[in-house]
Amino acid sequence: DAGVTQSPTHLIKTRGQQVTLRCSPKSGHDTVSWYQQALGQGPQFIFQYYEEEERQRGNFPDRFSGHQFPNYSSELNVNALLLGDSALYLCASSLYVGQGNNQPQHFGDGTRLSIL
Amino acid sequence: AQKVTQAQTEISVVEKEDVTLDCVYETRDTTYYLFWYKQPPSGELVFLIRRNSFDEQNEISGRYSWNFQKSTSSFNFTITASQVVDSAVYFCALSEARDTGNQFYFGTGTSLTVIP
């Protein structure tokens, strides 16, 4: 039973560039959430996708965008990279079982993004 | 204001000691979920427990136990007879349900070191 997989594991970019991170949810899951985890901090919620639509969004600028595909996989795109975007980006998946029923999220190992 | 507060940044205990990790949350919702996750040095967040706002029954799972008290907005986590493998960063998280998805808030984490 494949868990949440993310690619790439590490990435180095320079300021101003754009980056795309990818996530495949755990088998049987249909909802994907993305988080940014700065060093020594807790994960910060970026957004959540379900049925190929962004359903909820945290306090992140429009430079952060995403997409969910029909097979439930997802991409996180970040434009105009800043030094402060350096972080571990985590993808989490879960199964939607109805409004208000928050199933546990299963996390991937993350993508370590470094901005030079 | 922080939605989830983990006041203990770092804790060190000697193996076999009991340790309690504190979590205080803030929400205006009547329906919400609380979670604990463990993040070992490898980086992947591992789900430990989920509790909904209507279930204040405390839970014990092996060496782990959780004390949920709505009156004090706390959801504390105790490890009994700690082991070196328990060394990790532990995160408490709150999930609020919205019409179109769920918002998640993580605390800043408590780094637990178990000394052999």
> How far apart are alpha carbons B115 and A15 in whole angstroms?
41
Cα dihedral A35, B106, B108, B90 sign: negative
Convert the pLDDT of each residue in B7-61 to its tens digit.
999 999 999 999 999 999 999 988 889 999 999 988 889 999 888 888 877 778 8
Are A56 and B101 an interchain contact pair (Cβ–Cβ within 8 Å)? yes
B107 shares contact with chain A (CB less than 8 Å): yes
Mean pLDDT of B93-114: 88
Q: Is the bond preceding residue A8 a cis peptide, omega within 30 degrees?
A: yes
For residue A1, what pLDDT is reported? 61
> How far apart are alpha carbons B115 and B96 in whole angstroms?
36
Query: Which stretches of chain A drop beneath a pLDDT of 70?
Result: 1, 99-101
Between residues B73 and B58, the one the model is more confident about: B73
A48 shares contact with chain B (CB less than 8 Å): yes
Mean pLDDT of B89-116: 90
Chain B partners within 8 Å of A58 (Cβ) = 103
For residue B26, what pLDDT is reported? 95
Q: Which helix (H) or strand (E) holds A57?
A: strand A53-57
Are A42 and B33 an interchain contact pair (Cβ–Cβ within 8 Å)? no
For residue B30, what pLDDT is reported? 87
